[in-house]
Every structure is written in structure tokens, then in C-alpha cells.
Amino acid sequence: MIFIEQDWYSAHSRAVSWITLNMKEQILTDPEIPDHLRERIWSFVNGDLGADSNTLPGVTEEWYTDKSDDSNWARYCDLLNRKKWKDNVIQSVEKSTRKAMNFLFNPKQEQVEAKYGLVVGHVQSGKTANYTGLIARAADAGYDVIIVLAGLHNNLRKQTQIRLERELMGTDKGGLHVDKPEGPEWYPITTQDDDFQTMTNPGFLSGNNPVIAVVKKNVSPLTKLHDMFYGFSEEKRCKLNLLMIDDESDHATINTKNQEINSELIDFDDYDEDEDDEEITNATIINTRLRQILGLFPRSAYVGYTATPFANVLIDPNGDHDSLGKTLYPRDFIMALPKPKGHMGLNEFFADNEEMDHTYASQVEVVPPEEAEELRNYEQDEERLLDFNIPTSLENAVIDYLLSGAARICRGHSNFHHSMLIHTRHTIRNQSPVADKVTALTDYWNNHLVNQYSSEGRSLRERFRMRWENNFSTHELTNESWEEIEPSLMKFVQQKYAVMEINSNSEHNLDYDKHKNGLKVIAVGGNRLSRGLTLEGLSSTFFIRESRMYDTLTQMGRWFGFRPGYADLVRLHITPTLLEWFTWLTGVERELRSDIERYADTGLKPDALAVRILKHRKMLPT
């Protein structure tokens, strides 16, 4: 059934009005609510389909109520409805953001205290959608200064800025977007191209317009932001309500001062390619700036979001500082978001017991250790290693990328993004020759695949046919025959795809928004292809970087997420060591969430308990 776009927004607003009047049953008879939406609206306000989030503590005072007019939250729900999100998913966002709001302070009250919380999601599972909903509700409630900390790199900050402009503020009209508010509009102090520099009109900080900034966790923009707020009078700051959302809150946020370095990790592959950049790596200064900014506002709330909360729960809850104030330990609440239906996560790829879903375990392929070592030993030099001789395992991963693209064409997908990730080592000296070789290989294949009359062309097609029939058509959810795939493969190759090197030395940028017909890309990189960045349409991953950190390793798994209509086509190529370690992490994640659920019944806050983290013989949590 097709709905007029305004139907949901108007019906939702009417329902909220009845709830505000304590007359919820009127929703069932209100003639202003269309009959075709009545049942869905009733289910929505009752939360019949939404999954509950486990929280620690389990209950809190319920002060929050939705606005019934010109509501950012209602507009956001309308957008999710138009994006064809399923009712149970939207309801889960509704329930979790309502819970989170009730753990924060009420801006309408005079006496408030700073709040600190943590929301634990799954990698690539919709955390951004969740905190967008939380921001919408916070603005409705009276929070007038919103700071979103969006990673360490420009690409992720820009990705977040675009999404919030489109789905929260209504200022970016690309794709589906919300309408601008009828009343006071959002006042952004960062743009898609520029991180925070200054606030051109401080008069907007009057409490009428919600001011929002999307800022990298770098020293320079955070220092400028702090200095601007410090320049305001204390009287003015005391009247403002600050919400700080910290995306990937276990990364760069944590105070690392006086931490001992584990000797076993020296010379291991946990080095950051940007470690010489003081803007990015001085986590202690970043922690200082965040606490200084929060300290300027007596009325403040800090909410961290991450899928790997190990560092956050290990913060000393009592390590307060004379000038910096409280640590960022989530002393007021920890929330574990439910696993969304259709999400491909650790459990699905690396089930560690027989009771788990093994649907995607067959889509994981082991890279021979000797081939992984050969690739890690590639080093950039003057000759640039321009030949295309690469190990068979990486060739197969590229073939999987091309075949999955062909299958998506067979399935009627159009204008779709389609990506491959190659992550061998952290160093640019290694990434560059790998990218060069893959470029040379794909250029050779593109020239010969389309020529069915040459011996090279026939040989290549036969190799692709065998790969499809032996590794794809055997899957219970894959139905396409080679006779259907072959012509679509030629079409995919002719549509053009690019090999991009993504690191601080490269000019390439994964800007999916600029490719309205879909970006087809093989991305070769390291840290810049992890931690929050979404690779749209990721289908084939070649990942051999053996980090010993729980959080680093999990966050580099960009293949986790949603793959509607092509989940069976996803392929993952990893080493035997990584297979063992990811399987271990499945149990770590399960046990940590189990503790949060179990502790909820105690009624105690997080600082009265200890969340346990399973130890591994060779790996470290963070």
C-alpha cells in the first residue's frame, strides 16, 4: 500500500496529542487519523513490535513526553517510514531512545546534574540512526546545544554531517530527507566541507534554535569549540542545555595517561598509520578537551555510542580531577541495543556453538598463511611492482566481487553501490603496491573477459564459471545459473568499476553521494576504512590484518551490517588466526551483554558494579 508522505507525520502527531491528554484510546476513534494507518499508529504508541533494550540500571524515573506539534522526533519517524523501515525496527528505535531520554536530565527542571551514559550497539547495526533519533527527541525536550563527535577523519565526519543535515535538519535535499521545522530551525556551526572554525552569530545561542556541531575528535577543532564556549559568560552557559554524542566513544576519547604499554604488542600490527599526526593521536589531550567543554556547562549530558565498549567500562569511575571534573565513565546508565533482524554480525559469521545461526559461516574462506605473508611483505619502491602477479586467494576475492555484482544485476538491482574492501596492513608503503597490482590485474581482466573469441577470454570465463558453480550456486539461498550470470558479468564489467587507494597519501575519496548511479569500487586501505565508515554495498572483503586488540579487530570488520537482497553473495576472506580470534570475540560479546542484562535486575548503577570481559591468551580487550 502506498501512503501520502504527510499521512504518517500528521497521524503520529495526533496520537501524541491524545497521549499527552491521557486519552490514548481516542486514537482508535479519531477521524483525523486515516483508517489505513490507525492499526499501525496504535501498535507504534504501544510498542507492540519493538524489541526492548537491556539497561543498567533496569529502571529510571520517566519524565520525558513527546511534543505534539512541530516535532523533530515525529518528522524523523516519518522519514524512517518513507525509507520503508519495518515497523518493528522503528519501534525498537522509539523504545531505546525514549529510555535513553529518561536517563538524561529534564531541561525544564531548574536543578539538574551532569549525566554520563553509554549505548552499546553492534558494528554497522544502525547506531547512527539511534543517536539521530535521540538528538531529535533531545531538541524537542529543550536541549539547545548538540555536539556530535564523529570519528578521527574527515571522511567519516563529512558522512555524518551529510546524514544529519538530511535526516535531522532538512537542509540537505539529496535522497530522502526530513522537512525543515515549521518553527525555529536548526543552526549548524559546521558544514559538509568544514569542521568547526568559529560561530558566526553567537546570538543564536539564545535557547530558541537548537545549535548543532559535527566535530572530529581532533585537538584543533575541539580547542576552538572550547575557547568559543569559554568566551561566553557563565550566566549564559548556565542557562543552556548541552548534549554531547560521542560516536565510537572507545576510540581517542579515553584518557591514556600513564597507561603501561604491553611489550607483547610492540612491533605487532596495531600501529596507526596516522600516529605521527598529533591532531589525531593525542588521546589524552582529546579527553581533556571533551571534559573541559562538558565542565563549562552545569547542565550537560554525555552519551557515548560504540559496538566495542571495553575501554569505556574500564575507565576509573572515581578518577575525578580537580579542574577537569568527572571522568567519562558511564556512571548513570549503560544500554545494550537489541540486535536488529537481518543484521550480519559476529554470531552469523563466526558462531562459536551449535545453538547459533550458521547461515553465513560457509561464506567465510580461509586465506593460506603463506599467501597472506607474501601480501604483507609487499613494499612500495621506485619500480612500484606494476605486474599483476598476486596470490590466488586475493584473485578469488576479486572474482567474488565481480560475480556478486553480476548477480545483483540479475536480481534487478539498479543504481546500486557495490564495494570490495582489501585490508592487508596498516602501512601506506604496503597498501600502495597492493592497489597497483590489483589495478593491473583488473585492467587485464576487463580487456579479456569481454572477448569470448580469444583464448585468454575463454580461459577467464571458464575460471569465473567454476568459481560461481563451486562457491555461489551451492548456497541454499542462491538460485541464479551461470547462463544467467555470464551476460550480467559482461554488463557489470562494462559499467566500469574503480580501484581506489584510501589513506592519508591518496587523493581518492569514497564519496558515495556523488555517484547517483551507484559507485562500484575496490577500496584498498587500512585505518581509514574502519571505525564507523560505511562501505556501501560491501560484498567481498579480503582482510588479513591480525590486530591483537578486541576493539580494533571488531571495528575493522566493515563487512558486518545489513545486506538486503544480497546477503548470500557476501564473501569474507581471512587468515586461520583471524578465524579463531573472531570466533572467540563472538563469545566475548555474548558474555558482556549477558552481564548487562543480569545486572539490570539489581537496580544498581554501573559504578556500583563491574562489567566482566573474557580474557584471551594472546589478545587484549583494548
- pLDDT tens-digit readout, 137-180: 999 999 999 999 998 888 889 999 999 999 999 998 888 899 88
The residues that bridge with 549 in the sheet, in sequence order, are 620
Q: List the grid coordinates of 225.
A: 569549540
Give the whole-angstrom CA distance, residue 180 versus residue 188.
13
The answer to whether 165 and 192 have CB atoms below 8 angstroms apart is: yes
Mean pLDDT of 318-344: 89
384 or 402, which is more confident?
A: 402
Lowest-confidence region among 205-214, 420-429, 477-486: 205-214
pLDDT at 321: 84
In this predicted structure, what is the pLDDT of residue 276? 43
Range list of H helices, 240-388: 278-281, 283-295, 310-313, 346-349, 369-376
The count of other CB atoms within 10 Å of the CB of residue 108 is 10
Work out the pLDDT band at 265, boundaries 50, 70, 90. very low
Specify the 3-state DSSP secondary structure of 41.
helix
Residue 187, beta-bridge partner list: 211
Look at residue 561 and tell me whether its pLDDT is greater than 90. no
What pLDDT is stored for residue 42 in this prediction? 94
pLDDT of residue 336: 93
Most confident range, picked from 141-155, 368-382, 408-422: 408-422
Between residues 185 and 304, the one the model is more confident about: 304
pLDDT, the chain, mean: 88
CA angle (393, 519, 555) in 5-degree steps:
60
Q: Give mean pLDDT, residues 431-456.
A: 92
- Over range 433-445, report the average pLDDT: 94
pLDDT of residue 173: 85
Residue with cell 568566551: 231
Give dist(CA 98, CA 100) in Å, integer: 5
**Helix or strand or coil: residue 462?**
helix
* Nearest residue to 249 (alpha-carbon basis) of 439, 414, 119, 437: 119
Give yes or no for residue 443 having a pLDDT over 70: yes
Comparing CA positions, the residue from 544, 542, 523 lying closest to residue 533 is 523
Three-state DSSP class for residue 501: strand
pLDDT tens digits, residue range 5-50? 458 889 999 999 999 999 999 999 999 999 999 999 999 999 999 9
Q: Percent of the chain, pLDDT > 70?
A: 91
Q: HSE-up of 197 (CA within 13 Å, CB side)?
A: 6
Q: Which residue has the cell 554488463?
A: 491
